[in-house]
């Protein structure tokens, strides 16, 4: 083009430098994005309450559903866990309502009387708080849940996103292979140990 050419080595060196600059800028952007997004994780209950996390799962091809419940104390220690199979073709909201009911009943059976009941269904949470409407198919289940929860010395409902409800989610998925239900008392199921340990690690550093 009438200009002065550059040696091949110089062109290669310049190109590699530009690639390094591009990688460095992208890495800074990734770090900034990670810092901008607050980590969503399990939080321990206040005072001497227990936190009861619940979750539901739908197995469409098997025409059944699964429920997971995990009860932890203020130190994050697993007090009890439940994985329950529901042989009915429930939809996502219906199984979340059943999961909350199961959480309340399971906590009663374990002997807990002060609890926070937490799930990741915003529809069910708002309905239990009287701030929203759930499908009519869940009304009876929610009514039973509220009635049973009123029998605790103290209880309230809480909402958390899926990332903060992983152990309950894993228990609900585990129910796919459960014929009826499985209960763990004063022990953490082996497939939850890593996730629960991560929760404790985050809590201890917060």
User: How does pLDDT run across 53-71, given as a tens digit for each residue?
Assistant: 999 999 998 899 999 999 9
Q: What is the pLDDT of residue 33?
A: 47
Q: Per-residue pLDDT for 182 more than 80? A: yes
Length, in residues, of the chain? 206
Q: Per-residue pLDDT for 136 more than 70? A: yes
Helix residue spans in 53-192 (DSSP H): 92-110, 122-129, 139-149, 166-174
Do 70 and 167 form a contact (C-beta atoms < 8 A)?
yes
pLDDT range class, residue 80, cuts 50, 70, 90: very high
Neighbours of 184 (CB within 10 A): 18
Do 67 and 175 form a contact (C-beta atoms < 8 A)?
yes
Q: Which residue has the higher pLDDT, 198 or 140?
A: 140
What is the model's pTM?
Answer: 0.80
Q: Cα-flanking dihedrals φ and ψ of residue 77, to 5°?
A: -75, 135
Q: In degrees, to the nearest 5, what angle opens at C-alpha 169 toward C-alphas 81 and 40?
A: 110
CATH annotation of 50-205: 3.30.420.10
Q: Per-residue pLDDT for 93 more than 80? A: yes
Cα 88 to chain centroid distance, Å, stands at 23
As a whole number of angstroms, the distance between CA 153 and CA 73 comes to 16
Q: What is the pLDDT of residues 5-40, one digit of tens each?
A: 666 666 655 665 565 555 555 655 665 545 555 677
As a whole number of angstroms, the distance between CA 129 and CA 196 comes to 28
**Unique residue bearing structure tokens 């039973």:** 144
Which residues, at least 6 apart from 81, have a Cβ–Cβ distance to it below 8 Å?
68, 69, 70, 71, 167, 171, 183, 184, 188, 189, 192
Neighbours of 156 (CB within 10 A): 13
Q: What is the pLDDT of residue 153?
A: 95
């Amino acid at each position: 083009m009438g200009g002065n050419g550059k040696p091949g080595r110089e062109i290669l060196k310049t190109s590699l430098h530009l690639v390094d600059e591009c990688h460095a800028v992208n890495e800074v952007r990734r770090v900034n994005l990670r810092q901008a997004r607050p980590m969503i994780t399990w939080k321990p209950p206040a005072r001497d309450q227990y936190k009861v996390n619940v979750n539901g799962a739908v197995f469409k091809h098997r025409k059944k559903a699964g429920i997971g419940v995990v009860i932890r104390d203020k130190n994050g220690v697993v007090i009890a866990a439940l994985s329950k199979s529901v042989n009915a073709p429930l939809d996502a909201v219906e199984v979340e309502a059943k999961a909350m009911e199961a959480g309340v009943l399971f906590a009663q059976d374990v002997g807990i009387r002060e609890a926070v009941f937490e799930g990741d269904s915003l529809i069910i949470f708002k309905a239990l708080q009287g701030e929203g409407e759930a499908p009519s198919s869940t009304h009876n289940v929610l009514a039973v849940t509220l009635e049973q929860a009123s029998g605790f010395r103290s209880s309230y409902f809480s909402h958390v996103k899926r990332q903060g409800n992983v152990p309950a989610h894993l228990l609900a998925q585990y129910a796919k292979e459960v014929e009826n239900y499985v209960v763990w008392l004063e022990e953490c199921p082996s497939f939850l140990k890593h996730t629960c340990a991560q929760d404790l690690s985050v809590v201890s550093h917060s």
